[in-house]
Amino acid sequence: MDKRRVNVIRGKLLSWYAVEARDLPWRRTIDPYAILVSEFMLQQTRVETVLRYYEPFLDRFPTLRALAGAPIDDVLKAWEGLGYYRRAHNLHRAAQVVAGEHAGELPRTIKELRALPGIGPYTAAAIASIAFGLDEPVLDGNVIRVLSRLFRIGGDPAKAKPRDAMLAVASQLTSSGDASHLNQGLMDLGARVCLPRSPRCHECPVACECDAHHAGEETAYPEQPARKRVPHIDVVAGVIWNGEPSTPGSRILIARRRTGDMLGGLWEFPGGRVEEGETNEQALVRELHEELGIETSVGAFLLDIDHAYTHFRMTMHVFHVRHTGGRPRAIECADWRWVSVEDLGDFAFSVADQQVLSALRKMSRRE
Ligand code: SF4
């Protein structure tokens, strides 16, 4: 890209950002820890969702040392509902590493940032440019869309060649200072103007420099890789009672998922996948025996929950279950507890299991 074009795009983008920047709470701070939290939350999650979690999380853990010293259960509880819980584990571990090895100060180089748990190239560059003002380019989904259109960069952006081409132009744009505003300007342009299906080119500050716009091919970029079919699975889960459901003093058995498993560290209503040829009830009895070593009898159906994860969709069939024998053991889980309906809210559950929680609360209010 020639120098004139770099300067024109830089100038127009910075002027636009100065007026149009989204007012986001993590943009009102220069505290590297607060920016670190926002970048972890924004990995794979929309800004609108993060807005509901960011400030309560910082109220609960106002400093890096507060987070580092907190039990992981408290961190997971504050993260409950935000999804991708590996991020919560990584953020907690990253805070502990910074507290232990960097005297509580977030390191300032890309190399040291990349060495922290859960920090990949994007998050390292975002923190380096936004928190420390380093001239580092970032490529997220919004930035990729803008750059691929501005410079008509074809090919699947997940592949090395197109990605390198985008990184090269992003580096040119950010190499003469103001990387923080330029990166965030590109992000905001992608989020508000250069929209995936109907870009608002008439509002775009860099339309005069946009190759895809001149060619009338805005939506041909970035190239969309062929969609893979997302598999669907059926799973069962049991609300396991130690007596009659919802009678005074009755308790529910919950299990904690193993760290390293999907949704690791969260609590769940135990169960598992329905295998071919099994009824839901048979699958539930088998799963509860395998996971906790207990005997059970399956009672009334409670509800079905449909939920989509990144790589699969599931329908979870939830039943009331009676514990009939065997002391629970943590065989395929990390821990277990007998808990009253009122105390379930003290534990961190996945979004799907929170729907079971709501159904139980409604049931208990009715009774
Ligand atoms: Fe996107 Fe249109 Fe602006 Fe090009 S002119 S960057 S396609 S909004």
Q: Same domain for 185 and 266? A: no
Q: Same domain for 242 and 189? A: no
**Among 2, 300, 352, which Cα is nearest to 172's?**
2
> Is residue 255 within 8 Å of 207, Cβ to Cβ?
no
Whole-prediction pTM:
0.84
pLDDT, one tens digit per residue, over 6-20 is 999 999 999 999 999
Q: Is residue 226 part of a domain?
A: no
Q: What is the CATH number of the domain that holds 296?
A: 3.90.79.10
- CA dihedral in degrees (146, 150, 153, 155; nearest 10)? 40
Q: Same domain for 56 and 203? A: yes
Non-local CB neighbours of 115 within 8 Å, separated by 6+ positions: none
Q: What share of the chain is helix, strand, coil (3-state, %, to 5)?
A: 50, 15, 35
Non-local CB neighbours of 365 within 8 Å, separated by 6+ positions: none
Structural domain including 66 reads 3-220
**Whole-angstrom distance, CA of residue 321 vs CA of residue 299:** 5
Give the helix/strand (H/E) hosting 299: strand 295-308
Residue nearest to atom 1 of ligand 1 (CA): 194
**Whole-angstrom distance, CA of residue 166 vs CA of residue 222:** 11
Non-local CB neighbours of 3 within 8 Å, separated by 6+ positions: none
Pick the last residue of a domain from 182, 200, 220: 220
Whether 101 is catalytic: no
**Whole-angstrom distance, CA of residue 16 vs CA of residue 187:** 12
Q: What is the CATH number of the domain that holds 165?
A: 1.10.340.30
Non-local CB neighbours of 82 within 8 Å, separated by 6+ positions: 41, 45, 49, 50, 53, 88
Largest CA distance in the chain: 78
Residue nearest to atom 4 of ligand 1 (CA): 210
- Does any ligand 1 atom lie closer than 6 A to the CB of residue 207? yes
Of ligand 1's listed atoms, the one at least distance from the Cα of 210 is 4
Q: Same domain for 191 and 255? A: no
Q: Is residue 225 part of a domain?
A: no
pLDDT, one tens digit per residue, over 208-220 is 999 999 999 999 9
Pick the last residue of a domain from 189, 220, 251: 220
pLDDT, one tens digit per residue, over 90-143 is 999 999 999 999 999 999 999 999 999 999 999 999 999 999 999 999 999 999
**Whole-angstrom distance, CA of residue 146 vs CA of residue 173:** 13
Pick the last residue of a domain from 220, 247, 278: 220
**Tally of domains within the chain:** 2
Q: Same domain for 35 and 84? A: yes
Of ligand 1's listed atoms, the one at least distance from the Cα of 206 is 3
Q: Is residue 354 part of a domain?
A: yes
User: Exactly one of 39, 80, 209, 287 is catalytic; which is it?
Assistant: 39
Q: Same domain for 203 and 314? A: no
Q: Is residue 22 part of a domain?
A: yes
**Whole-angstrom distance, CA of residue 73 vs CA of residue 89:** 10
- Does any ligand 1 atom lie closer than 6 A to the CB of residue 150? yes
**Among 91, 81, 89, 80, which Cα is nearest to 38's?**
91
pLDDT, one tens digit per residue, over 220-251 is 999 988 888 899 999 999 999 998 777 778 89
Confidence of residue 365 (pLDDT cuts 50, 70, 90): confident
